A and B are shown apart, each in its own frame.
Chain A
């Protein structure tokens, strides 16, 4: 069945460092892909999404490109801030019931 695999955390970076969180997927067809973020004590919020191959989603300095050939949707940010500390979830729209399927989440901690 459809699935999402993202790099295990926790990831600890210094402020202004470059961030990459890897996400790969297995799916039939061409699902929409999402990154959600969960700040401490809160629910999930959509960070960005891409609906077709080669689309780039971007928001708040984060970017991810839908790569069909490598079945990947890696999240990147050029210069992280302390306020980016959160758990990041990669997800795809797919599965037998057409719902969102989430990765296990990657916890990011950014130190000043």
Chain B
């Protein structure tokens, strides 16, 4: 079974802190994604990556950055956390490479609260 793990289930940070959310997948997938999920807005894509050291902006990249130094790991970085970044963050991975979208497999999510 594909497994996508996220470093924390719950996280509380203060405004202005730098926050790292880690995601690891164990199926050698090329593609990895970061979404945020908010009530009434569904899932919105923040960043994605089709390969090591590459990244592409999604629909709402402002205030975020990402890092993919190894194929299995995709990190989301909040450079200076703000209260409007309080949300559920979901990581996903899929095989297939750029332009192809096979089934995406999701991690359990990290609920981030910024005070």
Residues of A whose CB lies within 8 Å of any CB of B are 32, 34, 36, 41-46, 49, 89, 93, 97-100, 102-105
Which residues on the A side are within 8 Å of B33 (C-beta)? 99
- Whether B4 lies near A98 (C-beta < 8 A) is no
Which residues on the A side are within 8 Å of B92 (C-beta)? 43-44
Which residues on the A side are within 8 Å of B58 (C-beta)? 97, 99
* Complex Cα–Cα for A54 and B50 (A): 30
- Whether A43 lies near B109 (C-beta < 8 A) is yes
- Whether B106 lies near A100 (C-beta < 8 A) is no
Q: Count A-B pairs with CB separation below 8 Å.
A: 49
Which residues on the B side are within 8 Å of A42 (C-beta)? 108-109
Asked if A99 meets B48 with Cβ closer than 8 Å, knowing A43-B90, A93-B101, A104-B42, the reply is: yes
> Chain A nearest CB: distance from B25 CB in Å?
12
What would be 24 A-B contacts, judged by CB atoms less than 8 Å apart? Answer: A32-B101, A36-B106, A41-B108, A42-B109, A43-B4, A43-B90, A43-B106, A43-B109, A44-B90, A46-B104, A46-B105, A89-B42, A93-B101, A97-B48, A97-B56, A97-B58, A98-B101, A99-B33, A99-B45, A99-B48, A102-B43, A104-B40, A105-B42, A105-B43
Which residues on the B side are within 8 Å of A44 (C-beta)? 43, 90, 92, 104, 106
